[in-house]
Structure 1
Amino acid sequence: MQIETIGKYQLHLVAHEVAGGQRWDPFITIMKFDDAKGDFRCVVEKRHAAKEAFDTYEKAIEAARLVGTMMIEKGEV
């Protein structure tokens, strides 16, 4: 798992190994900092980041990163 910060958001990037093979399924959780509470709150929880699994962990994490960044840039969270 990797955690990256973009402004008031944290991207929690996760890739799970698919059973029966060496493929990786990417997921993303997005947390947004709540100024009033002084803490992060979950705005997207463990969303599948791609329709297909990837050959490597690194490619799956990159796919999750791209989806999360796009969601933030488009104001979808």
Structure 2
Amino acid sequence: MSTRTKSKGKASERESPSRLASLKQLFRDTKNEIKKVTWPDRETTRNLTIVVIALATVLGALLGGVDALFVRLWEALRAF
């Protein structure tokens, strides 16, 4: 079994960028990607918001009804 030693060539002499430089690059890249996004117009945003609120209301009422049904069923079973 052979052992390897790290070479001390130019590749290992290079240091990775500092954390601050990496963070700056991350923000630059994020800003550039955000510019590429196609944002929905105001009407589309409004319509989708209405759909989400309506769906959340309907599902909340449905789950509340199922919960109330289970509570009554549980109370009936306990009284039995």
Given the two structures, how large is their TM-score scaled by the length of structure 2?
A: 0.27
Q: Which of these two proteins has the greater Rg computed from alpha carbons?
A: 2
Query: Which structure is higher in strand share?
Result: 1
Given the two structures, how large is their TM-score scaled by the length of structure 1?
A: 0.28
